[in-house]
Amino acid sequence: MKKIAVLLSGCGVFDGTEVHEAVLSLLAITRAGAQYQCFAPDIDQMHVVNHLTGEVNTEETRNVLVESARIARGEVLNASSLDINDYDALVIPGGFGAAKNLSNFATTGSSCHINPIVETFIREFALARKPVGFVCISPLMIPHIYGQGSLGTIGNDSDIAHAFNEMGGKHQAAAVEDIVVDEANKVVSTPAYMLATSVLEAHIGIEKLVNKVLEMID
């Protein structure tokens, strides 16, 4: 049975993983007959957001691995413990955690860097020529991992698309239900909640992404 790693960035759209995107990814993997294992880096979140009010709580700190366990129902491993031989592919849901915790894109834009633990984790899949699916805002990491001319989409946001291209990638606009496939790098991306107005819209693109990722496994 194919086994897919899922990289989380906390719990909650404004400071971690977008919960719907994570659950939809896990459901799509399971429905396709594969297994999943959640991972997250053992690092502090950039900040903590009150999801009811949208305000940042400056007096509270949270850990990305601990918060990701909320989504994974406790079944989450430290990203530093990856054995690439155990996994066939990787899926990375979105949420601001991808731009705040996995990388610092939220504060630095196209001059951003990826957290070293996270970069090592994703690069393991790239070096092993194993497919990776990037959801929502997480495709912003594609140019850093795959280099000049790598393809991806975050939908049609012109500012983020421009930043994607500035980092060396080649952005392709896509509708919410679409995927963009970089065959050369075995990379798949979809806009999800960059464009989705409902959980059903997000589901359509995410399921296509997961199915394509599974199809690309050697």
Query: Which of 11, 38, 112, 136 is the catalytic position?
Result: 136
Over residues 61-96, the pLDDT tens digits come to 999 999 999 999 999 999 999 999 999 999 999 999
Comparing CA positions, the residue from 42, 50, 46, 52 lying closest to residue 8 is 42
Instruction: Classify residue 123 as exposed, middle or buried by CB count within 10 Å of its CB (0-12, 13-18, 19+).
Output: middle
Answer whether 65's CB lies under 8 Å from 101's CB: no
Q: Average of pLDDT values for 13-38?
A: 98
CA distances to 22, 56, 59, 60, 149 from 93, rounded to whole Å, are: 5, 22, 27, 24, 22
Q: CA gyration radius for the chain?
A: 15
Answer whether 26's CB lies under 8 Å from 206's CB: no
Q: What pLDDT sits at residue 66? A: 98
Q: How far apart are CA 49 and CA 51, in angstroms?
A: 6
Q: Quote the domain boundaries for residue 137.
A: 3-215
Q: What pLDDT sits at residue 175? A: 97
Residue 31's Cβ-side half-sphere holds a number of Cα atoms within 13 Å equal to 12
Output the CA torsion sign for 32, 93, 203, 130.
negative
Residue 18's Cβ-side half-sphere holds a number of Cα atoms within 13 Å equal to 25
State the total domains in the chain.
1
Active site residue 112: no
Over residues 103-132, the pLDDT tens digits come to 999 999 999 999 999 999 999 999 999 999
Write the CATH number for 62: 3.40.50.880
Over residues 133-142, the pLDDT tens digits come to 999 999 999 9
Over residues 176-215, the pLDDT tens digits come to 999 999 999 999 999 999 999 999 999 999 999 999 999 9
Question: What is the average pLDDT score of the chain?
Answer: 97
Q: What pLDDT sits at residue 27? A: 98
Q: Average of pLDDT values for 28-35?
A: 98
